[in-house]
Amino acid sequence: MAKKGTCLLPLHYGSAPRWLFERMVRLSREIISVIVMDFGPDEFLERLSDPYWFQALGCVLGFDWHSSGLTTTVCGAVKEALKETQREILIYAAGGKGAASRKTPDEIEFLISKNAPALDSKKYVYASRMAAKVDNTALQDGYQLYHHSFFFSKSGLWAVVQQGMNTQTRWARRYHWLSKDLKDFVNEPEKAICCDHKGNAFNMVAGESGDARDASAFLAKERPEKIIGEVEKLSRLKLPEEHRLFFSNLKKTSLQKVLLSTYTNQPQDFERLLGIRGVGPKTIRALALLAELIYGSRVSRKDPAKYSFAHGGKDGHPYPIDRSHYDKSIEVLGRALREAKIGRTEKKDAFKRLAQFS
């Protein structure tokens, strides 16, 4: 189980003022240094992959505590802080928001060649790409990714923090990943998904979507004309009105292009299918539709969001407060602040924000 969780945040536009961002970078550097000194580089990555701790970090750094900008600004500040200390701390950061996210593979290769040549850069580029593919293509929950940050240590542990937006609802959803104990990118990668709003989802990475994944990968290797022939046979059947899938979703010319592309690549399983360049949400939906129509292999429609992002409520709603988890976040950040070599005023203000969060 690699994905640590998600967070749902109101979508806000704009950017942090330079005076604030510069202070966030400086405070990030001090907090990271103390955590690494006390617990080691991998501990910071594990903390970063925890949506609760990440949110607490954003509050301590002083950014708007509940907006979508917290994700992009905190990741940006941490990335800048690591640039100055990566030789001592042995943690590296790539990616970011918008155009910066598309530079992630090149940045990973550069950082590894310069700082950690013993690591296989292709492995980390693949991990970055698959984390984005899963949350944008295999899990279609209504949020389009626009931010992707990739963090890794010299020991080889990696973490991803990425965020998608839904411009219609004006909400953002954050996704956290960690490579520790990762066994499968496409079968229940989420350890916990936290958000306030649930909707309809097309979830190919759910456990109950296993048959659909297998059937989709099998269909992707078949000759296009064979599949088109099967579809034409099926189109003469009368389906029940409550059926979720419709033949109007299948356009023959588009389907042929999809099948020709996947047939040429001959993917051995769903993960390899998902990894093919050019295979996007429409391709996966088309193959899943065929898998259900031909083999009866259904895709999970459950939104994987399970909890409110909040630490809980005093009345037990949306769930009881997890005191140990909550206290650990405050303890680690509090200790880092106490030992950080920053100005008294900045430290005092950070403690105030931490106290308000807790």
* HEC assignment per residue over 247-285: HHHCCHHHHHHHHHHHHHHCCCCHHHHHHCCCCCHHHHH
Token pair of 153 as six digits: 């240590």
pLDDT of residue 80: 95
For 248-301, how does the pLDDT look when each residue is reduced to its tens digit (9 = 90+)? 555 667 778 878 888 999 999 999 999 998 888 888 988 888 888 888 888 888
Say what the pLDDT of residue 310 is: 42
Average pLDDT (306-321) is 46
Q: Tell me how far CA of residue 85 lies from CA of 30, 38, 82, 90, 94, in angstroms.
A: 10, 16, 5, 8, 14
What is the band of 87 on the pLDDT scale with cuts at 50, 70, 90?
confident
pLDDT > 90: percent of the chain: 35
Tens digits of per-residue pLDDT, 144-196? Answer: 999 999 999 999 999 999 988 888 888 788 889 999 988 899 987 765 555 65
pLDDT at 314 over 50: no
Lowest-confidence pick of 11-20, 127-136, 189-198, 236-245: 236-245
Least confident residue range of 215-224, 261-270, 323-332: 323-332
With H, G, I as helix, E, B as strand and everything else as coil, classify residue 34. Answer: helix
- Residues 211 and 298: beta-carbon distance below 8 Å: yes
Share of the chain above pLDDT 70, in %: 73
pLDDT at 307: 44
pLDDT of residue 51: 83
State the pLDDT at residue 191.
59
Averaged pLDDT, 311-331: 54
Which residue type does 242 have?
Answer: E
pTM, whole model, 2 decimals?
A: 0.79
Of residues 300 and 320, more confidently modeled:
300
Q: Which two tokens stand for residue 40?
A: 């080691």
Residue range 40-74, pLDDT digits in tens: 999 999 999 888 788 888 877 765 555 667 888 89
Asked if residue 26 has pLDDT above 70, the reply is yes
Comparing 9-23, 143-157, 216-230, 300-314, the range with the smallest average pLDDT is 300-314
**Cα angle: 329, vertex 334, 339; to 5 degrees:** 135
